[in-house]
Chains A and B, each alone.
Chain A
Amino acid sequence: KQEVTQIPAALSVPEGENLVLNCSFTDSAIYNLQWFRQDPGKGLTSLLLIQSSQREQTSGRLNASLDKSSGRSTLYIAASQPGDSATYLCAVRPNSGGSNYKLTFGKGTLLTVNP
């Protein structure tokens, strides 16, 4: 059974700092990995999706990497801003054809960026 772990559970940094959020998964047979952002009391916003054949994806100040063989992904946030404060979730989709609709989520990292 796939398990997704995110470390740390919470992170507090001063504004302007570069930071890395970690995601690990136990079964490397994944189709893709998706990073989401969730603001308090709100739904999930998709940030980046990395296909299993890719090593990284970039969007603005965000860069996500994937090392499928070691079961790890990182989300790098450059020059953090108070508006980046949110919970960040990663989720993996399995490569098995019958159930590749099903995402397995980590429990998230709560990021606080202090002005």
Chain B
Amino acid sequence: EVQLVESGGGLVQPGGSLTLSCAASGFVFTSFEMNWVRQAPGKGLEWLAYIGSSNTVIKYADSVKGRFTISRDVAKNSLVLQMKSLRVEDTAVYYCARRRGYGSGGPTDFWGLGTLVTVSS
């Protein structure tokens, strides 16, 4: 069974840093593109970043470029999102999500339950 479990959320002051992790199981972690997506309270989904299956391709949304870093810890089967210079508007539920390959149609087919990040003084 595919499982994605996020952790690391919490309360942080503006300008602070936080690292989120997503423990993956039930599939070959290195064979899939992995994404971070967030949802501010009462708002829509915002894609943040992805890391390709080979780790050679990494892309960010303009809203987080230069502040957030996505990485993959293969030994721990874990996806990581390092966040710095956090702003009040970064307050959201952060989801880890797996995207199927283009040969399988390519949608984002599994999501974690999310972890809440609150940026406030």
Does A pair with B? no
